[in-house]
Structure 1
Amino acid sequence: MSASELRCFMDFVIPLVRNAGKLLLEAKNFKIETKDESWDLVTIYDRKIEETLILKIKEKYPQHKFIGEESSAAENSIPELTEEPTWIIDPIDGTANFVRRIPLSAISIGLTINKQVVLGIVYNPHLNELFHSIKGQGCFLNEERIQTSGLKDINGACFNYELSLARRELLRNLYLYRLKHLIGRTEGIRSLGSAVLGLCYVAKGAIDAYQCDGLYAWDVAAGSLFVQEAGGFICDTTGKPEIDIMNPNFLATATKELSDQFMAIEKIADEERINNELK
């Protein structure tokens, strides 16, 4: 796929995303539902935005495939990622923030070709932040090129750790043991409640490191590209050679050096957890 073709995709989808953002700004008096887990919220706007984006993109590119959060939830199945052009959509990342009027939620779209993310668009209409990137061409916020902070020392790191995922019993000890070892080594801990914005804020240098385990493709597809295109580093936290966007467990950092320091500490935390669980 040529750079000009990817640019055409970008130019077509950005106005769709901006229009979807208007729906979020106008939203009021809506019903809040839950999915399989009581804390996993969904609104009519999640469904409406995803349906509209898929419909419009499919009209323009009928051969393209789609993986959407809400359509996957409705079918209780996530489509297989193939080598065909595939749009991975999160209509509202940070729905819990959205329903509480916290201005940290965003529409996220990533495009994969040959199972690799080649394009990403993320829009937080509450703060008028439009992030976008084409693989190999850098990352941009409102048309201004952005870079990570470049931090290499964990002692000065602002670390975003998505602690709400520790509600899942299978992940709780993993999160808490790592937090115990990391909290005294970093400058500060944040938990933003939006995976994609966590990645965006690493890309723009506002946060130095962001970690989350147990997410889905729509949470990371666009943001993982942003971090790399902004000069950062992203790795799989389970020991795989690279992040698997269909089963993402990741640490995103401003630099490889910073990643190495985090992972060394987490290795100690994981060993302590495993030893204690075996007792």
Structure 2
Amino acid sequence: MSCSEIQNYMNFVLPLVLDSGKELLTVEEINPEIKGGNIWDVVTIYDRKIEQILIEKIKEEYPEHKFIGEEESADKNTISQLTSLPTWIIDPIDGTANFVKRMPLTCISVGLTINKEQVLGIVYNPYAKELFTAIRGQGAYLNGKKITTSGLTEMNKSIFNYEISLGVKNLQLRNLYMSRLQGLITKVSGIRSYGCAALGLCYVACGRVDVYQCDGLYPWDAAAGTLIVTEAGGFVTDSSAVRLGKEFDLMQPNFLAASTKQLGDQYIAIEKMVDQEVTSKPQANFIPSNCKLITEKTQ
């Protein structure tokens, strides 16, 4: 697939994403629904509406393309397998809980894979009028201006965005988060938690934070943002208990995204040590792998 073809995909989809952002700005009344009886897992008519519009319009233009969307996956109660065909991976509203509370930390996230490789990413926060984009090999951009990570290598100066929301509903994840946080908290400059995976990744890409970590996510949470980070010069690795520090897997997207590999490796070294200490304890209730249900939503 040539760069010009991927650019054509970007040129077609980008206006659709921007129009979807305008739709969000017109919302006056939000009536969230609880998915699967789980109070932490909400969806709105706007999640469904935006995803449906994006998929329908892309299908009209590219009928051979495939899709992995948050709401269509929830409806099927399964995530489609990633194939070599061009596949659009869509989160119509990332940070739905923020959206429901009218916090302007929410966005539309669209990623494209070809031959199972991430090649295009779009993250748009209409409230802040911030558009993050990337095409593999061409860098990352915020509102058309090239961005890079902070380039920080010193852990004691780093701002760490640690997404711990999933600990509310999953005891094993809670234990994982809390044990690692205890090992990290005295070694960093500050800690944040924004409740929006795609924006968290983009904030690493543009240098607002230095490291972002979350476990227990889904492909649509990370498909655009992880590419934007790497195109901005950052480092992305697996953060799960089983594959900590190994190559990032989009279809099991536990991740640690850092401004530099040197900085990311420092975090991983501490987490490995903490994980070993926890798992060596008798009857340790510790997450063994990337365990989750499709009906659970991260944000």
Q: Report the TM-score when normalising by structure 1.
A: 0.98
How far does residue 60 in structure 1 lie from its aligned partner after superposition?
A: 0.4
2:112 alignment counterpart: 111
* Structure 2 letter corresponding to 1:31: N
What is the distance in 2 between the residues matched to 1:181 and 1:90? Answer: 32
What is the distance in 2 between the residues matched to 1:241 and 1:189? Answer: 24
Contact 1:124 1:130 in 2 (8 A): yes
Is the partner of 2:186 in helix, strand or coil? coil
1:273 alignment counterpart: 278
Is the partner of 1:192 in helix, strand or coil? coil
Is the partner of 2:280 in helix, strand or coil? helix
1:50-95 per-residue CA deviation (whole Å, 9 max, x = no partner) reads 0000000000000000000001001111111100000000000000
What is the distance in 2 between the residues matched to 1:39 and 1:103? Answer: 19
Contact 2:245 2:268 in 1 (8 A): no
Contact 1:20 1:49 in 2 (8 A): yes
How far does residue 241 in structure 1 lie from its aligned partner after superposition?
A: 3.3
What is the distance in 1 between the residues matched to 2:259 and 2:183? Answer: 20
What is the distance in 1 between the residues matched to 2:43 and 2:272? Answer: 35
1:233 alignment counterpart: 235
Contact 1:106 1:197 in 2 (8 A): yes
Contact 1:234 1:253 in 2 (8 A): yes
How far does residue 169 in structure 1 lie from its aligned partner after superposition?
A: 1.4
1:7 alignment counterpart: 7
- Residues 20 and 277 (structure 1 numbering): CA distance in 2 closer, same or farther, change over 3 Å? farther
How far does residue 272 in structure 1 lie from its aligned partner after superposition?
A: 1.8
| Larger relative contact order, structure 1 or 2 (CA cutoff 8 Å, min sep 6) | 2
2:76 alignment counterpart: 75
Contact 1:154 1:185 in 2 (8 A): yes
Is the partner of 2:250 in helix, strand or coil? coil
1:130 alignment counterpart: 131
Structure 1: gaps spanning 5 or more residues? none
* Structure 1 letter corresponding to 2:29: N
| Correspondence 1:107-256 to 2 at 5 A | 107-167=108-168, 168-237=170-239, 238-239=243-244, 241-256=246-261
* Structure 1 letter corresponding to 2:250: I
How far does residue 170 in structure 1 lie from its aligned partner after superposition?
A: 2.3
* Structure 2 letter corresponding to 1:8: N
- How many residues align? The count is 279
1:7-55 per-residue CA deviation (whole Å, 9 max, x = no partner) reads 1100111100000001111112121112233211110000000000000
1:125-173 per-residue CA deviation (whole Å, 9 max, x = no partner) reads 0000001110000000000000000000110010000011112112111
How far does residue 273 in structure 1 lie from its aligned partner after superposition?
A: 1.5
1:19 alignment counterpart: 19
* Structure 2 letter corresponding to 1:272: E
What is the distance in 1 between the residues matched to 2:166 and 2:153? Answer: 27
What is the distance in 1 between the residues matched to 2:245 and 2:172? Answer: 20
1:52 alignment counterpart: 53
Asked whether 1:38 is paired with 2:39, we answer: yes
- Residues 51 and 169 (structure 1 numbering): CA distance in 2 closer, same or farther, change over 3 Å? same
How far does residue 240 in structure 1 lie from its aligned partner after superposition?
A: 6.5
1:238-266 per-residue CA deviation (whole Å, 9 max, x = no partner) reads 23631111111110000010011000110
Contact 1:173 1:273 in 2 (8 A): no
* Structure 1 letter corresponding to 2:262: E
What is the distance in 1 between the residues matched to 2:40 and 2:54? Answer: 25
How far does residue 269 in structure 1 lie from its aligned partner after superposition?
A: 1.2
Q: Report the TM-score when normalising by structure 2.
A: 0.92
2:101 alignment counterpart: 100
* Structure 1 letter corresponding to 2:18: R
Is the partner of 1:131 in helix, strand or coil? strand
